[in-house]
Each structure stands twice: as structure tokens, then as C-alpha cells.
Amino acid sequence: MTWLITGGAGYIGAHVVELAKSSGRNLVVLDDLSSGISSRLRNDIELVETTLLDSASVNRVFDEHKISGVLHLAAKKRVGESVERPDYYWQENVGGIQNLLSAMKTHGVKNFVYSSSAAVYGQPDVLFGALITEETPCAPINPYGATKLEGEVLSRAMAESGGIKVAALRYFNVAGAGRAELGDQYIFNLVPIVFDALERGEQPIVFGNDYSTSDGSCIRDYVHVQDLADAHIAAMEFVEKSDPGFTAINIGTGQGASVFEVLAMIQDVTGISIDPIIGERRKGDPAALVADVRLSKELLGWQSSRDLRAIVTSAWDAWKLGHK
């Protein structure tokens, strides 16, 4: 039996592929290589280079392999770009999952792990300091988050109609690298943005120091990408052995770190002294976004094991190898 991993040449996908392979799974990877990099995949991994929008090619993958489960990570994920090009995000992310789920239905494949995002929560209206549970209302504030939620809505409906079993993993802030060659190649999130500034001899900017948090900067839940990979395997095994219908599960650490705390860790790990510039608040940033992780522990038997130091150290090792 074979797992299909979409987006398997991407930053997160490649970690999932490597872990699944090393635990003895048969795999096929589907990736359009728009942001994925084929050299992330070992030579013995079969890569089908196609877009999910090409439903004939997608169906062919199912025709040609005995697929028993699908881990769906392929997606566009740049929040800013999604604001500029919402139609493109709908086409890629919603059209993509729609074709994939139709192909699964046609071929009687039931096990589905979906890469969702904490972006589905938007700016949650929770009491200060409260953790985000899976019951926190979903109200995305950008097209990226909206398309991730659309994917949940469709997969939930297909689970309710009896077609599939779904674990939707709502990732919080993913960073780090399992090994340096698999690191994030793009400069879109806090850790690589800070590395990039330091490399240019510039100081990073803190987007607001007047939030009602302990040090005034925003708090996020940073989860190590290798822990996230572990969560995917646990999620597929959970879906295979039980009948969850549709279940959304937060994937985080349950511990928040402020922007200043991340900067202090980066200074410590890199040895480069940081004296950040205090900038304006960034539009749409919630003060704090930290996962309640009880459900992942209960259902998947999974919890994160790597801390912020491991995240920053591994991200820095990857950064030093090169980036885009």
C-alpha cells in the first residue's frame, strides 16, 4: 500500500517524505515544482511532476499506484501574494484539493491528511492569554487562510457523505530544519527574515512593541518542522485505524514565544548581536496565537519535543548552506 504525498518536494513535504520513507512506507510524491525542489528527494522516491489542476494526470497517479492514503501538502502559502491574487489562490488551493478529493473518490481511497493552517482562525476573539482550541471560531482574515478553510469545508462535506476520513492539521508557526539540506529556502517568515537582515549587516524590525503582552511584542507558537513531520505520520496512522469523520487538530507546542524572545535566541545561536528596530504594528497581526494542544496528544499521541533553541539552531545551519 502506498501513500501519495502532494507537495512532497516542498519545505514541509520533504520532511514528511523522508520520515515516511525511513519508517518503511511506499510513497509516491506529486509536486509541480513551482516552489518545491526535486533535489530534496532521495533518488529512490518516485516524483510525478504535475499540477493538481491537471485532473487527468492526478487520476493517472491513482490508476498506476495502489494508493491507500493521501497526505495533501501542496498549496500556495504566501499570505501577501494571496491578498494581491485571491483568484489565483482559489484556483490553486481550492481547485487543487477539489481535483484531488474527486480522484480519491473515483478510486475509493479514504484516508486523508490535510495540511491546514492556524490562518483559519484569523484574529481570534479569545481572552488575553487564552489558548486557541479547535472549537475557536474560524474567521480567516486573508485569502490564504480562506482557501485553507475552504479545503476543510470540502473535505468535511466529503467525510460527512461517507466518502473519506480526514485529519486536518492546523499548523501554527513552522520553522527549523530536520537536516540542513531540507531547510526553508524562502524569506517569508520571521526566522529567515531576521537571518537575511543580519547577513546584510542590517537590524531586524519588530512589528510593534505596544501589544498587551509581557514584553509588548507579538507572541506565536513556533513548532519545529521535524515535529510537524512526526505529526503527519501519527495523523495518517490515526486516520487509518479509526473513523474520525472529519477532525481538525492543532499542531503547535502550546508554548508561546514573543518576537523579542525569538530575536534573543537568534542572537544567542548565531553570536551576532541584535539591536532591533521597533516598527509599526503589521496589519492583521493578532497579539498572541498559541495552540491548545490537548487534542493532538489525545487523538494522535503526538506532542512536540523540540524547543525554540533547536528550531533556531537547525534553521541557522540550513541558512548557512544557502537559500533563494
List the one residue from 33, 80, 125, 282 that touches ligand WQD (CB under 6 A).
282
Is residue 189 at the binding interface for ligand WQD, with CB under 6 A as the rule? yes
DSSP, res 120: G
In terms of CB distance, is 205 or 272 closer to ligand WQD? Answer: 205
Using DSSP, how many helices (H) and how many strands (E) does the chain show?
Answer: 11, 14
Is residue 14 at the binding interface for ligand WQD, with CB under 6 A as the rule? no
Catalytic residue among 89, 144, 171, 211: 144
State yes or no: is 121 an active-site residue.
no
In terms of CB distance, is 237 or 292 closer to ligand WQD? Answer: 292
x/- mask, ligand WQD, residues 255-274, rule CB under 6 A, reads ----x---------------
DSSP string, 248-277: EEEES-S--EEHHHHHHHHHHHH------E
Q: Supply the minimum distance, in Å, between the C-beta of residue 114 and ligand WQD.
A: 13
x/- mask, ligand WQD, residues 203-222, rule CB under 6 A, reads -xxxx----------x-x--
Stretch that binds ligand WQD, among 31-39, 177-185, 188-196, 304-312 (CB under 6 A): 188-196
C-alpha cell at 186: 524562502
Strands 219-220, 257-258: pairing is: antiparallel
The helix/strand/coil state of 18 is helix
Burial 186-217 (b: 16+ CB within 10 A, else e): eeebbbbebbebbeeeeebbbbbbebebeebb
Is residue 223 at the binding interface for ligand WQD, with CB under 6 A as the rule? no
x/- mask, ligand WQD, residues 164-183, rule CB under 6 A, reads ---------x----------
Region of 201 please: left (phi>0), alpha (psi -120 to 50) or beta.
left
10, 35 contact by CB (below 8 A): yes
> Would you please indicate which residues are annotated as catalytic (active-site) residues?
144
Residues that bind ligand WQD (CB under 6 A): 77, 79, 117, 119, 173, 189-190, 193, 204-207, 218, 220, 259, 282, 285
